Amino acid sequence: MMEHLHLKLRFTLYSAFHTTGNRWRWAADKALAMSPDGDYVIPATTLKGALRERAETLLRTWGLDVCTGPTPETMCADANNLCPACQVFGNPRFPSPLRFQDGRFGPDTVAQIRSGVSISRQRRAALPRRLFFVETTSPGPLEAISTSEGYFPDRASALQACALVTLAARWISAVGGGRTRGLGWIEKVEVQATLNDEPVPQEELEALWHKWAGGHHVAED
């Protein structure tokens, strides 16, 4: 019997947010990502990438072997020897068991147009004729809700996925584009997790965090 893991993530942002979507808006060079039914969203790929980046950083800090993305040549190639990050988030060769959904802002979220100018990193000065306009949400606080779910062959692998996503969510600081300009900064992320429709005990997650903090792969125990 497969183990069904369901995660609900509630993001609270204290600044305006931007991620460029595949749409056009008059007076904006970069328009916000939007769902087909008209809600502003944090795209699932953006959320998954931000969570994975934070998870990889934490695992490496604790001395665990984690592959290096984003190119396939530098990521895990052996299905029987995937690093913890690839086991949970997948890679170009092996799909993730978790399906991430867009983080949706509420229907009352409003947008605004901000101006900006491209900066030369070498000169640390504005580049000539590089004025642009970006559509962002209004300033925070804002809330976006996302879900993720998947099926796992056993309880241990489902708990590992739950523990890694929850841990990464607690340490994520910003998401989306324009973070160096103060956009997308996160106040907190709340995670509600159920395994086979039952709440995941906090002590089981904490046990995995302690193992990782000690430099141990879960599979070693």
Q: Is the pTM of this model over 0.75?
A: yes
Q: Which of 26-30, 73-77, 141-145, 149-153 has the lowest mean pLDDT?
A: 26-30
**What was the pLDDT predicted at 219?**
37
Judge whether 99 and 119 are in contact, CB under 8 Å.
no
pLDDT at position 95 over 90 = yes
Mean pLDDT of the chain: 87
Percentage of the chain lying above the pLDDT 90 cut: 64
Residue 42: CB partners within 8 Å, gap ≥ 6?
11, 17, 19, 33, 102, 103, 105, 144, 146, 175, 176
**For 7-40, how does the pLDDT look when each residue is reduced to its tens digit (9 = 90+)?**
999 999 999 999 887 776 767 678 889 898 889 9
DSSP 60-98: HHTT------SSGGGS---TTS--HHHHHH--SSS--SE
Residue 126's pLDDT is what?
Answer: 47
User: Degrees (nearest 5) of the Cα angle 184, 186, 187?
Assistant: 145
For the stretch 85-118, what's the b/e string if a residue is b when 16 or more beta carbons lie within 10 angstroms of its beta carbon? bbbbbbbeebebbbebbbbbbeeebebeebeeee
Q: What is the pLDDT of residue 180?
A: 76
> Cβ contacts of residue 172 below 8 Å, gap of 6+?
50, 51, 54, 186, 189
Strands 198-199, 186-195: pairing is antiparallel
Q: Is the dihedral of CA 69, 71, 73, 78 positive or negative?
A: positive
pLDDT of 188 higher than 80: yes
User: What is the mean predicted confidence (pLDDT) over 91-97?
Assistant: 94
Quote the distance between the C-alpha of residue 62 and its chain's center: 20
Considering 37-41, 61-65, 78-82, 149-153, the range whose residues carry the highest mean pLDDT is 149-153
Residue 25, token pair as written in the block: 């808006």
pLDDT at res. 112? 85
